Amino acid sequence: MKVFTTIVEIQNYLKSNHPKTVGFVPTMGALHEGHIALIMKSIAENELTVCSIFVNPTQFNNLDDLKKYPRTLEQDCEILQDAGCDVVFAPSAEEMYPTLPSLKIDFGYLEHIMEGKFRPGHFNGVGIVVAKLFNIVKPTKAYFGQKDVQQVAVINRLITDLSFDLKMVVCDTIREKDGLAMSSRNRRLSPEARGHATKIFQSMIIGQKLLLEGYSTFVVKNKVLDFYKENPQFKLEYYEIADFETLESIDELNPKRRTAIIVAAHLDGVRLIDNYIF
């Protein structure tokens, strides 16, 4: 496995090897089984797989969150080597941003709901770094996790609006046995908080059950708010019930369309997000 830290190095390597297909898995490191599932899918579908590891400062709206984001490059490289990844791209912030980008990407409606609303500037940072990485790696296919459902929508727009010549592949969320979605942030939870963390998944299952019983989203949200009040370890940021395709809030379940329950909550000072699609 090759590890590159500069744009010139990885581009020279890719040019001289000219693989027929390149699968790309962009990450911020602290890899878990969810990332490995993306890597394995990429390996199965492409001649060469590139994984980037870059904690992108421009997508953090909270400096403390950026500082505390886990960084485990050595361990990540071991995991990637074992998984059979071909190339790791782990640039420094200076390499990616010799000057801070002046470009601003506005994803319209998606900026004003959920992650867009609670993390101002987040998707601008995601959009810019992903566009840069696509230009550097020039992948045939790029792999993303369904856990970041709104990020998936944003990157879909980025690919369409900027005509990136690649296919986006979205992979299912991988969960711990108790339902907690795998996330790099989980390792920051204390053992006690980790015990509570499964309740995020439970709150989505409760919501799904009530919706299928015919309750309106208004009633369901109120019942779920009560659930979170009974579990004061959590500071709920939002609990949305939306159409899966548009991510717009819905009032009632439409049996002809897929529904997404989307949650963001703080637990033990760690911000966790998850979603459940049915």
Interface residue list for ligand PAF (CB under 6 A): 26-28, 56, 59, 126, 129-130, 148, 151
> From the CB of 193, what's the least distance to ligand PAF, in Å?
22
- HEC-encoded secondary structure of the chain: CEEECCHHHHHHHHHHHCCCCEEEEEECCCCCHHHHHHHHHHHHHCCEEEEEECCCHHHCCCHHHHHHCCCCHHHHHHHHHHHCCCEEECCCHHHHCCCCCCCCCCCHHHHCCHHHHHCCCHHHHHHHHHHHHHHHHCCCEEEEECCCHHHHHHHHHHHHHCCCCCEEEEECCCECCCCCECCHHHHHCCHHHHHHHHHHHHHHHHHHHHHHCCCCHHHHHHHHHHHHHHCCCEEEEEEEEEECCCCCECCCCCCCCCEEEEEEEEECCEEEEEEEEC
> From the CB of 81, what's the least distance to ligand PAF, in Å?
20
> From the CB of 185, what's the least distance to ligand PAF, in Å?
11
> From the CB of 61, what's the least distance to ligand PAF, in Å?
13
Instruction: State how far the Cα of 37 lies from the Cα of 61, in Å rounded to an integer.
Output: 28
The catalytic residue among 18, 32, 35, 122 is 35
Bridge partners of residue 260, in order along the sequence: 242, 277
> From the CB of 126, what's the least distance to ligand PAF, in Å?
5
**Amino acid present at 150:** Q
Of 142 and 197, which CB lies nearer to ligand PAF in the complex structure? 142
Of 29 and 207, which CB lies nearer to ligand PAF in the complex structure? 29
Of 124 and 259, which CB lies nearer to ligand PAF in the complex structure? 124
Of 123 and 276, which CB lies nearer to ligand PAF in the complex structure? 123
Of 59 and 259, which CB lies nearer to ligand PAF in the complex structure? 59
Q: Residue 35 catalytic?
A: yes
Residue positions annotated with a catalytic role: 35
